[in-house]
Amino acid sequence: MSNFIIDELSKIVYNDLVSFHVPGHKLGKLYDKLNYTEILKKLYKMDTTEIPGTDNLHSPEDIIKKSQERASQAFKSDKTYFLINGSTCGIQAAIMALCPPKSKIIVNRDCHQSVINSCILGDINPVYIKSSIDRDTNILKGVDINDVIKVIDNNKDAKALILTYPTYYGMTYDLKTICDYAHSYNIAVIIDEAHGAHLGLSDKLPKTALEQGADIVIQSTHKTLPAFTQSSMIHTKGHRVDDNKLMSILKIIESSSPSYLLMSSLELAVDIYDKYGKDLMSNLIDNINKFKNSFKDSKSIEIYNTSDVTKIFISTTGMGLIGYELETILREEYNIQVELSNYYGSLLVCTIGNEDKDFKCLEMALNDIINKYKSNKQIGRIDYPNDIPVQKLTPREAFYKDKKSVKIYESIDKVCGEYIIPYPPGISLTSPGEVITKEIIDYILFCSKKGMNVSGLKDSTLGQIQIIE
């Protein structure tokens, strides 16, 4: 009898996949390099629960408390809490700790779906800020400060502002100015820093959200640092967050049987961050710069200039390929896995777990692909639907309404009953309660034929969509 999951994961390990995707430990190679293998060999025996000596995540007084305090020192917060339900539960707890039911929260439109789910759970009304986009690459660049100020001015009664920083593609913006402006109206600032846990390791990287005045920051420690998948952290700073309320909500939404394996991996990540992080990051940035320089004169490959250099976006239009095609070729022919692709290119997530040989493999693969696949064909254009849809119902109202399925083009101008989410990264084009547009339907049908995955819909074939009448 086969062990389906174990067998497939074993293949990935034995085939020595080159990882430019999360998690940050890169198939455990960083643990091997830094001699953490002896700890990890016995880690499965440490799978325990709350017994004498092991403390309690939901009421830490001993070893967990001390470990969280060490993490707080490393990340320069006032308080840090370990999360074993991923950053999703941290976002949910942060929002519900600051926003009572029926209140407003200001949100960047290109937020993670967990933000909207939090509004459903907490009966909170989102007010959106339009996101900025690079039309040549469909890279989401974050928010424009003037747009943020305008939305704040029109919603001074909002309890909180939540922004994604950096964006999934590694783009940043002047967060300090935004924090200062929000605070002038007593609006707390929550930052989804899922892809920025590493930013404090070099002054060649953007400043961290805490450095720029954020009140509460959620980090996916497993994404860009070497913790196990699903292990994250939430950091608070200043007087605007009621830590007791935050803790009480975490007790509700996190598992009552928290994983000691995940908590141990967070401690390992902090240990590596503290002892080796800056040197490893310096080496990583050097390797990235060497890789980029090797293609600086190329007419076939253009590397987008991201704010966070550890994110590499390779534009494929010069090769006559779309991003989904490059991703498939790299995996199937060169054993290299990227993080995600869009129509115009592929995104690589580089971490302190990557080594020089990873970039050499990538460089050789790309040069080979240029020679084998380069063509003069034009790949055409597809514009990312960036307008904010009309909201007819709040997310919570829509969630509890009766729904019916209709053919996909019959859903246009109807109220959506589910999510339309290109995945990854998990950013919703249309959420429950919003009006479905032809632009969005055309986009997902076109891109899905090219290789984009769409989640959130009951019908994964994209034949039908649930609507609310």
Mean pLDDT of the chain: 95
What is the phi/psi pair of residue 131, to 5°? -90, 155
Rounded Cα distance between 339 and 353, Å, is: 15
- Max CA pair span of the chain: 68
pLDDT tens-digit map of 257-274: 999 999 999 999 999 999
The per-residue pLDDT for 181 is 98
Reference 352, options 218, 194, 198, 208; nearest CA is 198
Mean pLDDT of 89-111: 97
pLDDT of amino acid 458: 92
Query: Could you tell me where the DSSP H helices lie in 225-355?
Result: 243-253, 260-293, 323-334
Q: Where are the beta strands (DSSP E) in 44-89?
A: 79-83
Query: How confident is the model over 219-255, as pLDDT tens digits?
Result: 999 999 999 999 999 999 999 999 999 999 999 999 9
* Ranges of each domain in the chain: 4-23+277-373, 43-273, 395-468
Topology (CATH) of 395-468: Molybdopterin biosynthesis moea protein, domain 2 (3.90.105)
pLDDT range class, residue 441, cuts 50, 70, 90:
very high
Mean pLDDT along residues 424-439: 90
Reported as a single tens digit per residue, the pLDDT across 265-323 is: 999 999 999 999 999 999 999 999 999 999 999 989 999 999 999 999 999 988 899 99
Q: What is the pLDDT of residue 174?
A: 97
Distance CA 258, CA 279 (A): 32
Q: Does 395-468 match 4-23+277-373 at the fold level?
A: no
**What is the number of alpha carbons within 13 Å of residue 279 lying toward its C-beta?**
5
- Confidence grade of residue 1 (pLDDT, cut at 50, 70, 90): low
Given pLDDT bands bounded at 50, 70 and 90, which one contains residue 377? confident
Segment 117-158, tens digit of pLDDT: 999 999 999 999 999 999 899 999 999 999 999 999 999 999
The structural architecture, per CATH, of the domain 4-23+277-373 is Alpha-Beta Complex (3.90)
Displacement of CA 281 from its chain's centroid (Å):
20
| pTM (2 d.p.) | 0.96
CATH for 43-273 (3.40.190.10, 3.90.1280.10, 3.40.640.10, 3.30.360.10): 3.40.640.10
Residue 466 pLDDT exceeds 80: yes
Residue pLDDT, tens place only, 163-204: 999 999 999 999 999 999 999 999 999 999 999 999 999 999
Residue 34 confidence class, pLDDT cut points 50, 70, 90: very high
Three-class secondary structure of residue 437 per DSSP:
coil
